[in-house]
Chains A and B, each alone.
Chain A
Amino acid sequence: MNSYKLKYFKYNTHCLLISWPETIDEKIFNDVNQFKVVIESSAGNILEVRSSYCSLLVIFDKEIQDIDKIESNLNNLYLSREHLSKTDRFLWSIPVCYEKSFALDIDFISKQNKISNNEIIKTHIDSVYSVYLIGFLPGFLYLGSVDKKLKIPRKKQPRLRVPRGAVAIADQQTGIYPQDSPGGWNVLGNTPINLFDKFKVEPCFAKPGDKVKFFSISEAQYKLIEKEVEFGLYELKKELIND
């Protein structure tokens, strides 16, 4: 099994940061998440393990004393890890209304990237995205990678209020704002679905490693789904991924 050279860094009294080569890469990302599961199921004194694109944050339940020993234990664990049977992963289909009233930045992207509005929407819908992490806001999914034709930097001047449900892009990432928030990503559309349910043990429907694709809905369908979501009647379409 292919192993990477990992770097260990004591972040504070209780936290250790493990870093992989710094790049967005499906192989590295899968390795990060596999090692997360290995650590969670085999090492003691650990409160929580958080994953990102190419790093893990390991939070211990007491102060880190002997950093060298912890490092070598973790590295042995890493080198001796075996292929895990994969946990169930899903492909989620998310409805998005790309109509003008929601697509706040589509004209700007069109002008910047010299691409028609229709082609922007088609390009955004055509890709299947990986869920890399949940961060920034409760339930904000970082999805990648966006087609190069849509690659656009974050806004220089962030918006003070990006509306809840906004589907937006920045660099080669796309994401959905789970609540009203200031934000610098370029907004393409809006989804009526709920991204975060504080009453559930698993408050987000998707988890890192899952996939997401978008499909286009009209404003009328948006209003209908919005009502269904409100009454708990809307079910997101999901398919089990076999690979």
Chain B
Amino acid sequence: MIKVIDPGFYSSIQDLGRFGAQNFGVPISGSMDQFSADIANKVIGNDSSEALIELTMTGCSLKFENDTAIAITGSDMSPKLNGLSIDMYSPIEVKYGDTLSFGRIKYGFRTYIAFRGGVNSERVMDSKSMYVGLTKNFKINKNDEIYLNESKPSLNKKYKASLKKLILSDEIECYKGPEYSKLTTQNKEELLSTQFLISNNHNRMGYVLDQKIKNTIKPIITSHVMPGTVQLTPGGDIIILMRDSQTTGGYPRVLQLTNKGIDFVAQKGTSSLIRFLIKN
């Protein structure tokens, strides 16, 4: 068992997400940066489907009440075991009584902690991903007790630190969205040439960008949206829908991020710069 001493700013349990219930309005959820989450599981020898902890902007503090092994990927928040710095992207053995903590955030925005065997928590509609109204809690709280599945031996795969570069690109890969063709030539140019700043309004559901573009397209009749859909509001705001995205929306869908594009945005915080790059 792992005891949560300090949950940090916003930490939650996530897996690959909740599928098949979108017709009932249930979001997909799952790890915001799937690439980093997947590596964390791989390093520790887990299946990609095992649940892990996602940290946002600040680290957490966990006390271990059994022996296990962990792997930390994604944003570098200066992880420490019993106060001593530990490596990311490699398996770390931990013992009963050890404390995991974090320090200064060096790059990125979301960190993943995978545990050998995976987190054993409440499964709702076939997923452990926390979500308001579905799981008992939507985030990890102080004094929570986190249980793990029975351990499997670690594969001890070592990944190179150069992987960090992969999550830091400001070029966000996307496709044209269903309403892209309705944009004026000037709109399109603006959308693709502007270096956008992430506003302070962002979370697991969506990211609002700081700059607006002049919108000439009318709202659409409520239709499908999904993680990675980029909406343009009547006021000209640009919203990137993320993993906890609603399933339907009425704003024009001008771009659709690739999965890699979503992963990259998930590692951005307030004032980070991004640029959309259409992939053909």
User: What residues make up the interface of A, taking CB atoms closer than 8 Å to B?
Assistant: 9-13, 15, 17, 19, 22-24, 47-48, 50-55, 57, 132-140, 142, 178-179, 196, 198, 203-204
Task: From known contacts A12-B175, A51-B23, infer whether A138 and B221 are also in contact, taking CB-CB under 8 Å.
Answer: no
Proximity string of chain B (201-243) to chain A, C-beta cutoff 8 Å, 1 when within and 0 when not: 0000000000000000000111110101000000000000000
User: Mostly helix, strand, loop or mixed at chain B's interface?
Assistant: loop
Nearest CB in chain B to that of A179: its residue: B133
**B177 CB contacts on chain A under 8 angstroms:** 11
**A15 CB contacts on chain B under 8 angstroms:** 226
B23 to chain A, nearest CB (A): 5
- A47, B27: Cα distance in complex, Å: 16
14 interchain pairs, CB-CB under 8 A: A12-B256, A13-B258, A15-B226, A47-B19, A48-B22, A52-B221, A52-B223, A57-B226, A135-B222, A136-B246, A136-B247, A137-B246, A138-B134, A196-B133
Proximity string of chain B (111-143) to chain A, C-beta cutoff 8 Å, 1 when within and 0 when not: 000000000000011000000111000000000
- A55, B175: Cα distance in complex, Å: 19
> Does B133 contact A138, Cβ atoms closer than 8 Å?
yes
Proximity string of chain B (17-29) to chain A, C-beta cutoff 8 Å, 1 when within and 0 when not: 0011111111100
Task: From known contacts A12-B258, A136-B247, A137-B246, infer whether A22 and B21 are also in contact, taking CB-CB under 8 Å.
Answer: no
**Among B132, B221, B226, B247, contact of A53 (Cβ-Cβ < 8 Å):** B221
**B125 CB contacts on chain A under 8 angstroms:** 198, 203
Of the candidates B19, B27, B246, B248, the one having the most CB atoms from chain A within 10 angstroms of its own CB is B248
A160 to chain B, nearest CB (A): 13
Task: From known contacts A50-B247, A136-B248, A179-B132, infer whether A11 and B226 are also in contact, taking CB-CB under 8 Å.
Answer: yes
Judged by a CB distance under 8 angstroms, whether B153 is at the interface is no
> Does B224 contact A140, Cβ atoms closer than 8 Å?
no
**A17 CB contacts on chain B under 8 angstroms:** 178, 223-224
Task: From known contacts A12-B175, A179-B132, A198-B125, infer whether A134 and B223 are also in contact, taking CB-CB under 8 Å.
Answer: no
9 closest Cβ contacts across the A-B interface?
A135-B248, A57-B224, A179-B133, A138-B26, A135-B247, A134-B25, A135-B25, A55-B223, A138-B25
